[in-house]
A and B are shown apart, each in its own frame.
Chain A
Amino acid sequence: MSEILRVENLWKSFGKLTVLKGVNLTLNRGEVLVIVGPSGGGKSTFLRCINHLEKPDRGRIMFDGQEVDESKVNINQIRSKIGMVFQQFNLFPHLKVVENLTLAPIKVKGLEESEAMEKARRLLEKVGLIDKIDSYPSQLSGGQQQRVAIARALMMDPDLMLFDEPTSALDPELVGEVLDTMKSLARDGMTMIVVTHEMGFAKEVADRIAFMEDGNFVEEGPPKEFFKNPKNPRTREFLSRILNV
């Protein structure tokens, strides 16, 4: 197993509020890491630091052997290798589904339009939305929009996918289709970091689960142990809270 991501001693503050307090993490190729934790614990900030949407104050992020740092590498090239899926989908509403998918590959990777189209068809086929290829985002359900957003990220052939609560904005009946898409992605060997409250998904798909609270990982391990014998009292309390609702 080869390492794809290593985070060392990552710190991040917003003004006086310190959100990340020396976070460490290593991730191997093909691993699925699920991050859980209470609101405000720094999960989103951590994900956003990985692709430098948020600039860390201190620490080091190594992605595929390169240090993620705008002053040292081409950050756009690195970002194109790290797919990100947002809670609010963030599809481009003025572009058709197919244009949402093909824009970045054409502009960033220099793909020919015909190549990009071909690929977009293949990926839309895969997420089961080929019939929506010429629709606009507003014409899709939330679940469909999120699947398009996943396909859009996959268009760049990412080596790592980051999901920030991808199903939290969805009506309950639409959650399943998005989770299924993510499961099939995991089965195909995609390396993923998923922030979610979907414990069923975590149990089924995760190789590791990590509990983040107050700016750091408090506990982590394989799902079975994590759910059966959480060692940290904070983790136990959190789990009992979300598993009993």
Chain B
Amino acid sequence: MPYWLEVPIKSFPYLLKGAVTTLEVTSLSVLLGLLIGTFVGMGRLSRNPIFSRPATVYVEFIRGTPLLVQIYIIYFGLPSLGLNLPKFPAGIIALGINSGAYVAEIVRAGIQSISHGQYEAARSLGLTHWQAMRYIILPQAFRNILPALGNEFIALTKDSSLVSVIAITELLRAGQIVISRTFQSFSVYFAVALLYFVMTFTMSRMVRWVEKRLAIP
């Protein structure tokens, strides 16, 4: 077997471990992003500027700055303020905060897509604002925005490669480590790309499956 082929095959288990780390980092960031995005998305729609102003500032700032810079701020910048985060939490928080801004915009559009009559019907039955959100508005909104959320999660999977810069050995960094020992850039990077593709392709299929399952008759 030629060396260029032997390297990616032999180091496959190692790359796979990196891919698992990528999935771990991504899924935790997705959860954090969803949590932040749901509340910020609702906040942006609030009539009370105490909620809507900070939500808008957050969304605009995050979307207007590079993710790489955000990662640097959280991992290298915060320690100078006395807040030392280990690399894993730092990476997840940076990705989650970043994704939260995009999710917030998606959630906002999702809530706006539900007719106001739904909210009024819920309130007229005596449900509180939060109950109306929780049981009536958000479940419908999330169904509508599932495809957009799916795209966001796929984007986040790819963006998670950026946390390699703070020495988290996810898929990209695992590949780089293999290359530094073997100098087989092309075949190893190609294997890395393939693994990313398998992950994102599976995710897009899963989103479609969930979409079908949750579809309202």
**Residues of chain A at the chain B interface (Cβ within 8 Å):** 51, 53, 76-77, 79-80, 82-84, 86, 88, 90-94, 103-104, 107-109, 136, 138-139, 149, 152-153, 156
Contact = CB atoms under 8 A, between A and B. Distances in A.
Interface stretch (B38-46, B61-69, B120-128, B173-181): B120-128
A90 B126 contact: no
A94 B216 contact: yes
Given A90-B121, A103-B135, A138-B217, A80 B126 contact: yes
Given A93-B216, A94-B143, A138-B217, A152 B120 contact: no
A205 B216 CA distance: 38
A92 B127 CA distance: 13
A108 B136 CA distance: 14
A158 B63 CA distance: 48
A26 B123 CA distance: 24
Contact of A53 (B120, B128, B135, B216): B120
B124 A79 contact: yes
Given A103-B135, A136-B216, A90 B117 contact: yes
Contacts of A108: 125-127, 131
Contacts of A51: 124
A198 to B, nearest CB: 21
Contacts of B126: 76-77, 79-80, 104, 108-109, 156
A86 B121 contact: yes
28 contacts: A51-B124, A53-B123, A53-B124, A76-B123, A79-B124, A79-B125, A79-B126, A86-B117, A88-B117, A90-B115, A90-B117, A91-B121, A92-B118, A92-B136, A93-B216, A94-B139, A94-B140, A94-B216, A104-B126, A104-B127, A107-B127, A107-B135, A108-B131, A138-B217, A139-B217, A152-B125, A156-B125, A156-B126
A79 B126 CA distance: 5
Contacts of B136: 92
A107 B131 contact: yes
Nearest to B215: A94
Interface in B133-157: 135-136, 139-140, 143
A24 to B, nearest CB: 23
A93 B125 contact: no
A33 B130 CA distance: 33
Nearest to A135: B217
A98 B129 CA distance: 22
B132 to A, nearest CB: 10
A149 B217 CA distance: 18
B215 to A, nearest CB: 10
Given A51-B124, A86-B117, A88-B117, 9 more contacts: A53-B123, A53-B124, A76-B123, A76-B127, A90-B117, A103-B125, A103-B127, A104-B122, A152-B125
A91 B120 CA distance: 11
Contact of A104 (B125, B139, B140): B125
Nearest to A93: B216
B125 A80 contact: yes
Interface centre among B125, B127, B136, B140 (most CB of A within 10 A): B125
A104 B125 CA distance: 6
B125 A153 contact: yes
A85 to B, nearest CB: 9
A48 to B, nearest CB: 8
A82 B216 CA distance: 29
A108 B124 CA distance: 11
B140 A84 contact: no
Given A53-B124, A103-B135, A104-B127, A138 B216 contact: yes
